[in-house]
Structure 1
Amino acid sequence: MPLVVPQHPPLTPEEAADETRAALALRDVYAREVTRRLRVPAAGQRAYGQLLQQALDEKNVGALAGEYVILVDRAPNVQALFVYFRATVDDPWQMVGASPVATGRPGEFDHFLTPLGVFLHSPANMDFRAEGTMNQNGIRGYGKRDMRIYDFGWIDGERGWGKGGYSPMRFQMHATDPDRLEPLLGIRHSKGCVRIPASLNVFLDHHGIIDAEYEALVASGKSLWVLHTDRQPTRWAGRFVVVVDSARKTRPAWSPAPGSKAHAKLPPGGDTAD
């Protein structure tokens, strides 16, 4: 299915400035509600905004504007998620907030590289919520109960084992075990999905950051059990997650790797959870 840029009414420069100020007020909310954050310097924010635009252009959705979009850098030396916004196609992308993540770590059977590209978040692949149960290794792979699993459906993923190549994988973005695995965010550690902090999961869920298509269904009269009734969806809800690889050769100071204490919490077999 080709990606389609939603059409928004044209804005005057004054209206665009007002929209930008209002949408970027979410920065303060992000700072209050998301406990694991990265302090990306201004130059880095601009550079990632350019990477975002390049990725959108490659998928013929470069005119995207007027809604939030999530960007993930899967580079081993970065492992970060960013929320961006711009009011019009003529504006630069501006960062709302950033947090550490964990993406696919190659080297073991059934471990994929997190796929690159632009992914539509749509009820065609309905999200669901974590049960909070532990696996045989004492790991809650989707995190604590009620964490939302953002589901992007089956895609061809690059195998990180054997002779490589591609095969189907279920691409998701979700929280992880809050005690054993969340401290390891910042390094490649998943089987191909994007693991995010629990507080970021709640933030994205409560404010409907990429729920535009879900909210459209609700507006049409549909009832969706996966959406909480007390949510406060933003009027700039988006619909895309973009994954890039900056291929950074060194780790930036603003994205530190987890320390030895975090690694010490990982039980035997904990690497296989997702």
Structure 2
Amino acid sequence: MKHRVLVSRYRAACVACAAAVCAWLAVVSIPVASPAETSAAGASSPAAPVHAPRSPVSPALPTSPTSPTSPTSPTSPTSPTSPTSPTAPTSPTAPTSPTAPTAPTSSVSPAPSASPASTPPASAASAASAATPPPRHPPLSPDEAQRATHDALGLRVTYTHDVTRRLRVPAAAQRAYGERLQQALAADGLGDLAGEYVVLVDRAAAVQALFVYFRATASNAWLMIGASPVATGLPGTYDHFLTPLGVFEHTPANMDFRAEGTMNDNGIRGYGVRDMRIFDFGWVDGQRGWGKGGMSEMRFQMHATDPERLEPLLGIRHSKGCVRIPASLNVFIDRHDLLDADYDARVDAGKSFWVLHPGRDITPWAGRYVVVVDSARRTRPAWSPLPGRAAWARVPKGGDTAD
């Protein structure tokens, strides 16, 4: 019985629903337009609503009576951009993508194009640095030149008093080495260097000597202040270099330091007694004295050595590539400001350097260059004698390898 009642109620509901659908269709009375009419209407009046053609399945659409939003969905007909696409012409956003012309930023932004832009300044800087002349003392006036020469002659006397290991170089050899110094400076773009002290080293195995020179003006000949025996690089053992040739600038860019006076495993004070100054010229290319030779970087320095074991051997090669000098000469160069022109300039600018001795005698003629040459002399000059046999007796095994 209940089943019949439910069925009858279901039928009644279906009939009522069908009646409602029919009534809705009658009220809406959607006209049917051909595609041509639709496109014509869209072309003439873009705002005119576009109705979808009626289809046999359309009656199924109102399955949800609330879907009458579809009739008002003529908003969706406006979405067809084809009729309203007249707005598309306004989309000349493509043409207005002249923002794309701003995309030339993309053509500039890529690293390849940016790097060339950064490269020229670097090359220009390197060209500028290459064109920058090496530092030198400004030309002296006649009065300054006379005073500087007078001071240099006085320093020559001081050299004979303060430096214990000296060489008595004859006048002819003094002039010859002065000319050799001039040639080396000219080859390095310093042919007009004057008004400052210069240190010259002859690394020839038969000479092994250091000279201190000065001239007041470029028209003067170089005046020797003094000379002493040294030791340069001895090839034939691993990690031993030939002392490099050339002009080396002494500057705070390669900061000096002072010896601690400690001994190595062989009982050698490689840098000499405490407070001896190590004149540092930085990393340079040196010729290897072992194996097949060739070039490698080495730290080039000029310094004192063990005063008891190795200083008596000065005059023959026995360093690892540096220039070993007598302790008294080390003190002389240090105290008389001979190679501290760049240090003095920075002190005048407000810098301070602990390595500078507080009691040093500051000179306006301070220099900055050490020049190493090789005279290739094969015979020993009388003014540069070999060390005696007694000196070798003090050297322990491996003692000559300390730097």
TM-score by length of structure 1 reads: 0.97
Q: How does 1:220-239 map to 2 (within 5 A)?
A: 220-239=349-368
Q: 1:95 and 1:158 mapped to 2: Cα distance?
A: 29
Match of 1:60 in 2: 189
* Equivalent position to 2:226, from 83, 97, 108: 97
Deviations 1:45-100 (A, max 9, x none): 00000000010011111110000000000000000000000000010001000000
Q: 1:212 and 1:163 mapped to 2: Cα distance?
A: 39
Can you give the 5+ residue segments of structure 2 that lack an aligned partner in the other structure? 1-128
Any idea what SS the aligned residue of 2:253 has? helix
Does 1:131 find its partner at 2:260? yes
Does the CA contact (< 8 Å) of 1:55 and 1:118 recur in 2?
yes
Per-residue deviation at 1:24?
2.1
Does the CA contact (< 8 Å) of 2:140 and 2:216 recur in 1?
no
Match of 1:148 in 2: 277
Any idea what SS the aligned residue of 1:20 has? helix
Q: 1:233 and 1:191 mapped to 2: Cα distance?
A: 32
* Equivalent position to 2:211, from 72, 78, 82: 82
Can you give the 5+ residue segments of structure 1 that lack an aligned partner in the other structure? none
* Equivalent position to 1:213, from 311, 332, 342: 342
Q: 1:85 and 1:138 mapped to 2: Cα distance?
A: 38
| One-letter amino acid of the counterpart of residue 41, structure 1 | P
Match of 1:4 in 2: 134
Any idea what SS the aligned residue of 1:168 has? strand
Does 1:167 find its partner at 2:301? no
Per-residue deviation at 1:272?
1.4
The 1:148–1:7 alpha-carbon spacing in structure 2 relative to 1, beyond 3 Å, is closer
Does the CA contact (< 8 Å) of 2:209 and 2:230 recur in 1?
yes
Does 1:180 find its partner at 2:309? yes
| One-letter amino acid of the counterpart of residue 167, structure 1 | S
Deviations 1:125-164 (A, max 9, x none): 0000000000000000000001000000001100000000
Q: Which has the higher contact order (CA 8 A, sep 6+)?
A: 1
Q: 1:96 and 1:262 mapped to 2: Cα distance?
A: 27
Match of 1:16 in 2: 145
Deviations 1:246-272 (A, max 9, x none): 111101000001010001110011021
Does the CA contact (< 8 Å) of 1:24 and 1:85 recur in 2?
no
Any idea what SS the aligned residue of 2:205 has? coil
* Equivalent position to 1:253, from 382, 393, 399: 382
Per-residue deviation at 1:193?
0.0
Any idea what SS the aligned residue of 1:123 has? coil
The 1:209–1:27 alpha-carbon spacing in structure 2 relative to 1, beyond 3 Å, is same
Does the CA contact (< 8 Å) of 1:105 and 1:160 recur in 2?
yes
Does the CA contact (< 8 Å) of 1:5 and 1:64 recur in 2?
no
Match of 1:264 in 2: 393
Q: Which structure carries more helix by proportion?
A: 2
* Equivalent position to 2:160, from 8, 25, 31: 31
| One-letter amino acid of the counterpart of residue 122, structure 1 | T
Q: 2:135 and 2:152 mapped to 1: Cα distance?
A: 19
Compute the RMSD of aligned alpha carbons. 1.2
Identity of aligned residues (%): 71
TM-score by length of structure 2 reads: 0.66
Aligned residues: 273
Per-residue deviation at 1:19?
2.6
Does the CA contact (< 8 Å) of 1:121 and 1:150 recur in 2?
yes
Per-residue deviation at 1:16?
2.9
The 1:264–1:99 alpha-carbon spacing in structure 2 relative to 1, beyond 3 Å, is same
Any idea what SS the aligned residue of 1:125 has? coil
Q: 2:136 and 2:381 mapped to 1: Cα distance?
A: 35
Any idea what SS the aligned residue of 1:16 has? helix
Q: Which structure carries more strand by proportion?
A: 1
Does the CA contact (< 8 Å) of 2:137 and 2:195 recur in 1?
no
Does the CA contact (< 8 Å) of 1:5 and 1:63 recur in 2?
no
